[in-house]
């Protein structure tokens, strides 16, 4: 099924990166020479997405400026991506589900993708593109196995069955306790969703942390639409955390021939200090 639109929820406060995120949106933090949102954009383009809907807020204007500038760079060049950009405001950060709901009027009635730029996925192919290829009408979320002690950071699937890289869920729980978690298969920030989700989100009561949780809407839709997890290939870095962002930077530096020598030198020097 063709998926044309992606929602980028970029309205979060990024408090884990204070003080830098007082002045720079979290999504504009860099991995070497490109901001996180650029990597998400490239993944979406490679997955066939044409329309980009940013759910943004006060203080995030540099994202709009960045993509204006990027399109100017592309102008007139062959191979330039065919894409359009829309920006909608989320006046207060009320959760991922609420951010997605803000995009309702720009989606109309077609399935769409959601990508959280702070989940950086280094993948030989486009993770969202692979998900779109497998999408068959059931809501889909990218999933990965996480250590048991980390389940409370994620939406966790209760598995009904598995076939290849597709996991059918019988339930899903947002940030369960270690004791309550039904598995250690966690959702990461890539989704392909039915537009029916808006009706559910509109009626949803606040959940964990008093926020409108996308996971709660996915749970409510299991009887009608279904929910599958997509086990993706590649490496995921949680760039919403300092450790994850640093790991992503080191990984990308190591992948880049012009920078890997610096990495080698650093490691050698570091070892002599040990």
Q: Which residues lie near ligand G1P (CB under 6 A)?
A: 96, 116, 119, 154-155, 174, 186-189, 213-215, 240
Instruction: Return the number of other C-beta atoms located less than 10 Å from residue 190's C-beta.
Output: 28
Min CB(114)–ligand G1P separation in Å:
10
Nearer to ligand G1P, 15 or 161 (CB): 15
Nearer to ligand G1P, 47 or 189 (CB): 189
Q: What DSSP string runs through 235-267? A: EEEETTSHHHHHHHHHHHHHHSHHHHHHHHHHH
Min CB(42)–ligand G1P separation in Å:
19
| DSSP summary character for residue 213 | -
β-strand pairing of 227-231 with 155-163: unpaired
Nearer to ligand G1P, 80 or 234 (CB): 234
Q: Please say whether the beta carbons of 194 and 139 come within 8 A.
A: yes
Tokens of 81: 């991506």
Min CB(95)–ligand G1P separation in Å:
7
Min CB(62)–ligand G1P separation in Å:
21
Under 8 Å CB-to-CB from 108, ≥6 apart: which residues? 195
β-strand pairing of 155-163 with 166-174: antiparallel
Min CB(50)–ligand G1P separation in Å:
25
Tokens of 167: 């996991």
Q: Please say whether the beta carbons of 25 and 11 come within 8 A.
A: no
Min CB(173)–ligand G1P separation in Å:
9
What residues pair up with 258 in beta bridges, in sequence order?
A: none
229 phi and psi, to 5 degrees?
A: -100, 145
Nearer to ligand G1P, 47 or 155 (CB): 155
Nearer to ligand G1P, 74 or 152 (CB): 152
Nearer to ligand G1P, 241 or 254 (CB): 241
Distance of CA 162 to the CA centre of its chain: 23
Min CB(121)–ligand G1P separation in Å:
11
For ligand G1P, the nearest residue by Cβ is 155
Burial 22-33, CB ≥16 within 10 A → b, else e: eebbbbbbebee
Nearer to ligand G1P, 188 or 252 (CB): 188
Tokens of 67: 């993509």
């Amino acid at each position: 099924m063709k998926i044309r639109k992606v929602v980028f929820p970029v309205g979060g406060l990024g408090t884990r990166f204070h003080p830098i995120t007082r002045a720079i949106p979290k999504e504009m933090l860099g991995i070497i020479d490109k901001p996180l949102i650029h990597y998400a954009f490239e993944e979406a383009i490679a997955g066939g997405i044409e329309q980009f809907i940013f759910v943004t807020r006060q203080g995030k204007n540099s994202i709009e400026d960045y993509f204006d500038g990027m399109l100017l760079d592309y102008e007139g060049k062959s191979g330039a991506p065919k894409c359009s950009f829309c920006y909608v405001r989320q006046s207060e950060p009320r959760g991922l589900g609420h951010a997605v709901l803000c995009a309702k009027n720009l989606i109309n009635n077609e399935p769409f993708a959601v990508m959280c730029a702070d989940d950086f996925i280094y993948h030989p192919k486009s993770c969202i593109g692979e998900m779109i290829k497998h999408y068959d009408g059931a809501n889909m979320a990218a999933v990965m196995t996480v250590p048991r002690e980390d389940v409370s950071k994620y939406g966790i699937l209760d598995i009904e069955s598995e076939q290849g890289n597709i996991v059918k869920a019988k339930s899903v729980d947002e940030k369960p306790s270690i004791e309550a978690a039904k598995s250690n298969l966690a959702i990461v920030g890539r989704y392909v969703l039915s537009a029916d989700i808006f009706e559910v989100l509109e009626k949803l009561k606040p959940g964990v942390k008093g926020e409108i949780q996308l996971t709660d809407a996915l749970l409510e839709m299991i009887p009608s639409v279904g929910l599958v997890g997509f086990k993706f290939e590649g490496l995921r870095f949680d760039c919403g955390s300092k450790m994850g962002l640093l790991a992503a930077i080191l990984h990308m530096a190591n992948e880049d021939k012009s920078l890997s020598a610096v990495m080698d030198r650093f490691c050698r020097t570091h070892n002599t200090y040990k």
